[in-house]
Amino acid sequence: MRRIYSGLRGRLVITFTLIAVTASALVAGIGYELVKTRVIERAEEVAVSDMRDTLEGIRVPIGGLWPGETPPTDAEINGLQKSLRTANGAVVVRYKDLRSPRGEEYLYPDGGFSMSDVPADLATGADRRMAAKRQRINGRMWLLVGTPVWRIEPIHTAQPTGMTVFAFIPLSEEEQLLNDLRQPLAAAGVIMLFVALAVALISARRVLLPVRRLGSAARALGAGHLDTRLPVHGQDELAELTATFNDTAAALERSVSELRTLEAMSRRFVADVSHELRTPLTAMTAVTDMLSEEADRLPSEPAEAVRLVLREIGRLRTLVEQLIEASRFDSGTATLHLDTVNVADVICDCLEVRGWLDQVRVNVPQGLAFSLDPRRFDVILANLVGNALRHGEPPVVVTARSTPNGLEVKVRDHGKGIPPSDLPHVFNRFYKAGARGDGSGLGLSIARANAHLHGGTISVRPQDPGTLFTVWLPPA
């Protein structure tokens, strides 16, 4: 069974659907990524702006202390963390005391977050400038913003303080927004799939309908309906193809009509010539017996000439009879006259009339009855046996048996056999295997035509030695 996608319609539907789904997926994916990028960038901009504004307003004495200032206390650091902390977020502070000769460093974790949660590249980059990075921590997405803290001196010069803050800003709302966006995008993709499939089926039907019509018309043309034509709609490629088909069908109809006319004329010519030859042949045949008797009294050379004439008259008579028989098959006037006969008797009568009974071994069970046309069966058998006797070597064996499918008759000789290159052509008219024999080349073709008229067949195959012809006739 042919798979559905192996046809042109299936391939069109699949291709159209794949293109539509791919385009839909690309649009949805690009749109999702654009929204995702904008949402994250917006969250990052807001977080950075809020942190920058908060840090610009701090009053914690850090870094190089001014006269009268005391070092920052833990409470002041905690207050700074609180001012920088967003809702559900955290702020980790790393403070390096610049006044200490050893540069002592203090860490202030927050809300379960510490410097161990800060990526190394962000920690390094935040020592020089503000940096941000998205990081998944404990299954949640966070925006980490790290920046060094600078302090403006009275002379409006920014001085490093040794403090670096890392803000952990949750992106749960943004992530939920993106998750909510996926569902309508997926639903839109499914709807797009069904729409694309429906459009593909409709388009494939419209495209393939003219192709189906062309296929049906071509089959009708092949079945012999040469007047088949198709209506031409539109001006596209399929319309041009339909017009070309109509032109081709018209040309084919004209050619076939001319060929049939010529064939009918040829058949009529052969039939007329054959019938016209019958009259002089009848007169010539009437005197063959007298010439045959006189040939024995003539000198050797005239006697040989008379015998040659007699042989050629016989050949000519056979040729004319075969041509007339062939013309009957060509004109369709050949008919069957079935009768139930004893197959063994019919075979023996055929051989006895032609004087072949002593040259042929017959192996047919007595009482084998079958319904066939005795005259046409006689023609089949006479051609096969005569061919075996002329071109083969003894013994020539004829066998017949009844099978569940009909009557099977075999004729075999034990000669050199027919060359393999000639076997496919032995039933062609006027074909002679090699250069042997003096036959007309019509006998086997007439035998096969008689077998076909019965609804049967004749086959040939080589033997070791010889050649085997098999006739099969179906039951009436």
Average pLDDT over residues 274-302: 71
Task: Look up the pTM and report it.
Answer: 0.46
DSSP notation for 133-178: EEEEETTEEEEEEEEEEEEE-TTS-EEEEEEEEEEEEE-HHHHHHH
Strand partners, 159: 151
Average pLDDT over residues 70-90: 78
200-203 contact pairs (CB < 8 A, 24+)? 200/12, 200/13, 200/16, 200/17, 200/20, 201/13, 203/12, 203/16
Average pLDDT over residues 228-249: 84
> In the predicted model, is pLDDT for residue 237 greater than 80?
no
Looking at CATH, the fold of the domain delimited by 226-334 is given as Helix Hairpins (1.10.287)
How far is it, in rounded angstroms, from Cα 368 to Cα 408?
Answer: 11
How far is it, in rounded angstroms, from Cα 442 to Cα 427?
Answer: 8
CB 346 within 8 A of CB 378: yes
pLDDT at 384: 93
Higher pLDDT: 20 or 422? It is 422
How far is it, in rounded angstroms, from Cα 376 to Cα 451?
Answer: 8
How far is it, in rounded angstroms, from Cα 79 to Cα 67?
Answer: 23
Query: Which structure tokens are listed for 252?
Result: 């084919």
How far is it, in rounded angstroms, from Cα 274 to Cα 297?
Answer: 34
State the pLDDT confidence band at 218, using cuts at 50, 70 and 90.
Answer: confident
**Number of Cβ atoms within 10 Å of the Cβ of 434:** 10
CB 391 within 8 A of CB 433: yes
State the pLDDT confidence band at 2, using cuts at 50, 70 and 90.
Answer: very low
Task: Find which of 43-57, 118-132, 306-320, 453-467 is predicted with most confidence, using mean pLDDT.
Answer: 453-467
CB 213 within 8 A of CB 230: yes
Looking at CATH, the fold of the domain delimited by 335-473 is given as Heat Shock Protein 90 (3.30.565)
How far is it, in rounded angstroms, from Cα 115 to Cα 136?
Answer: 15
How far is it, in rounded angstroms, from Cα 68 to Cα 81?
Answer: 24
Distance, first Cα to last Cα, the chain: 36
Q: How far is CA 307 from the centre of its chain?
A: 67
Q: What is the largest CA-CA distance in the chain?
A: 170
CB 166 within 8 A of CB 92: yes
Strand partners, 151: 159
> In the predicted model, is pLDDT for residue 462 greater than 80?
yes
**Residue-level length of the chain:** 476
pLDDT tens for each residue of 162-173:
788 888 888 877
> In the predicted model, is pLDDT for residue 98 greater than 80?
no
State the pLDDT confidence band at 471, using cuts at 50, 70 and 90.
Answer: very high
Tokens 């007699």 found at: 310
Helix axes 374-391, 343-353, angle to 10 degrees: 50
Q: Are strands 360-363 and 396-403 parallel, antiparallel or unpaired?
A: parallel
Q: Give the DSSP H or E segment for 312.
A: helix 300-331
Percent pLDDT > 90 in the chain is 16
CB 312 within 8 A of CB 324: no
pLDDT tens for each residue of 354-412:
899 999 999 999 889 999 999 999 999 999 999 899 888 889 999 999 998 999 999 99
Domain 59-170, CATH class in plain words: alpha beta
State the pLDDT confidence band at 1, using cuts at 50, 70 and 90.
Answer: very low
